[in-house]
């Protein structure tokens, strides 16, 4: 993936009442569901998304990813087309759950900066039925999207045997992604704790926009520990110049602070030398 493109703003297009139905074991959906307000909107409409982006600069790159599969949102395709018309660049990460063949075609020629298909696996980590219809959809998406500038198969386990031949025939490299413990929220994975001052991470300045307009820290904040403000009531600039975000930046310097980033393993991902991760134990 293109590590040079700053993720300007992540958008969680939907938060289903029982969590993302793909229910990958390494994704703390239960925590998210318990913290997201029960009576809040569960997905964006084109209109509600347009309202929230009114004060977001067009220069912000958009990431259609976040806390759940983007195409669970009924308006996902019109939203992506509109955002492109408005002038935003964008990336997409999807399992294809919820998209149609027509939808695949409609967004095929947008100038995506990065496209990730998170692939269902042989182990059953992702609870998605790999039916004949799904296989057809997968094959269609690979054919229609593999010309994108940065097209990636997202594998966390062994690709599902019905999908592997399609992936191999595409000629696209098949990498293996490491699992993320989501800031200590996934049992069974190693956890991390940074001591001392916490170094800056580019996602600190991105935000993850939720269907109710709330803007939280990033796509690792499943517990909604850091909600900076709400784009239905405040402007984007006011939120990032406001007291909550400033207090967060100050807390990064405080060795006693309990900011979420203290438990985030992304320092490893962003370090140039994996044997000497830049975040850990630096004053
Ligand atoms: S990792 Fe992605 S596909 Fe899996 S449950 Fe979480 S949001 Fe859904
Ligand atoms: S350090 Fe981790 S939790 Fe903090 S902003 Fe970056 S990705 Fe999110």
Taking only the tens place, the pLDDT of each residue in 10-64 is 999 999 999 999 999 999 999 999 999 999 999 999 999 999 999 999 999 999 9
pLDDT value, residue 129 = 96
Question: Which has the higher per-residue pLDDT, 76 or 276?
Answer: 76
Ligand 1 pocket test: pick from 23, 33, 96, 134 the residue with the most ligand atoms within 8 Å of its Cβ.
23
Is residue 280 predicted with pLDDT exceeding 90? no
Burial class (CB in 10 A: 0-12, 13-18, 19+), 112: buried
Cβ atoms of residues 8 and 60 within 8 Å: yes
pLDDT value, residue 194 = 82
Q: In what order do the strands lie in the sheet with 227-230?
A: 151-154, 114-118, 90-94, 62-64, 9-11, 208-209, 214-216, 227-230
Give the distance (Å) from ligand 1 centre to CA of residue 180.
12
Give the distance (Å) from ligand 2 centre to CA of residue 136.
36
Is residue 6 predicted with pLDDT exceeding 80? no
pLDDT value, residue 26 = 94
Which residue's entry shows tokens 């602070």? 257
Q: Is 194 in the pocket of ligand 2 (CB under 6 A)?
A: no
Q: Give the confidence band of 5 by pLDDT, cuts at 50, 70, 90.
A: low
Q: Give the confidence band of 273 by pLDDT, cuts at 50, 70, 90.
A: very low
pLDDT value, residue 115 = 97
Give the distance (Å) from ligand 2 centre to CA of residue 265.
8
Mean pLDDT throughout 197-212?
A: 91
Q: Give the confidence band of 134 by pLDDT, cuts at 50, 70, 90.
A: very high
Q: Give the confidence band of 193 by pLDDT, cuts at 50, 70, 90.
A: confident
Q: How far apart are CA 101 and CA 233, in angstroms?
A: 37
pLDDT value, residue 24 = 96
Measured from the Cα of 260, ligand 2's closest atom is 3
Average pLDDT, the chain: 91
Measured from the Cα of 221, ligand 2's closest atom is 3
Cβ-based neighbour number of residue 246 at 10 Å: 12
Q: Give the confidence band of 283 by pLDDT, cuts at 50, 70, 90.
A: very low
Is residue 267 predicted with pLDDT exceeding 90? no
Determine the longest span between alpha carbons in the chain, in angstroms.
Answer: 55
pLDDT value, residue 259 = 95
pLDDT value, residue 199 = 83
- Ligand 2, atom 3, lies closest to the CA of 261
pLDDT value, residue 121 = 97
Cβ atoms of residues 62 and 8 within 8 Å: yes
Mean pLDDT throughout 187-215?
A: 90
Which residues lie with the beta carbon below 6 Å from any ligand 1 atom? 20, 22-24, 27, 29, 68-69, 95, 118, 126
Taking only the tens place, the pLDDT of each residue in 83-101 is 999 999 999 999 999 999 9
Cβ atoms of residues 18 and 33 within 8 Å: yes
Give the distance (Å) from ligand 1 centre to CA of residue 95.
8
Measured from the Cα of 118, ligand 1's closest atom is 3
- Ligand 1, atom 6, lies closest to the CA of 27
Three-point CA angle 201, 206, 208, nearest 5°? 120
Proximal ligand: closest to the CA of 219: 2
Give the distance (Å) from ligand 1 centre to CA of residue 115.
16
Taking only the tens place, the pLDDT of each residue in 58-76 is 999 999 999 999 999 999 9
């Amino acid at each position: 993936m293109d590590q040079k493109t700053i993720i300007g703003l992540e958008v969680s297009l939907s938060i289903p009442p029982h969590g993302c139905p793909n229910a990958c074991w390494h994704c703390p959906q239960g925590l998210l569901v318990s913290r997201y307000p029960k009576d809040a909107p569960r997905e964006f409409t084109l209109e509600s998304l347009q309202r929230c982006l009114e004060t977001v600069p067009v220069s912000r790159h958009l990431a259609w990813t976040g806390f759940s599969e983007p195409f669970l949102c009924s308006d996902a395709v019109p939203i992506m087309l509109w955002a492109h018309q408005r002038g935003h660049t964008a990336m997409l990460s999807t399992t294809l759950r919820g998209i149609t063949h027509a939808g695949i075609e409609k967004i095929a020629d947008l100038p995506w900066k990065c496209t990730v298909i998170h692939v269902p696996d042989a182990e059953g980590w992702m609870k998605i039925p790999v039916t004949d219809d799904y296989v057809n959809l997968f094959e269609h998406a690979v054919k229609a999207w593999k010309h994108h500038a940065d097209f990636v198969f997202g594998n966390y386990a062994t690709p599902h045997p019905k999908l592997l031949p399609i992936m191999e025939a595409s000629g696209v490299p098949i990498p293996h992604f490491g699992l993320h413990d989501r800031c200590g929220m996934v049992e069974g994975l190693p956890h991390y704790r940074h001591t001392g001052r916490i170094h800056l991470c580019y996602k600190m300045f991105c935000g993850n926009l939720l269907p109710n307009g709330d803007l939280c820290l990033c796509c690792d904040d499943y517990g909604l520990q850091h909600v900076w403000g709400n784009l239905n009531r405040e402007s984007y600039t006011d939120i990032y110049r406001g007291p909550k975000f400033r207090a967060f930046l100050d807390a990064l310097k405080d060795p006693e602070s309990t900011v979420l980033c203290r438990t985030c393993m992304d320092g490893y991902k962003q370090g140039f030398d994996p044997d000497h991760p830049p975040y850990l134990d630096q004053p």
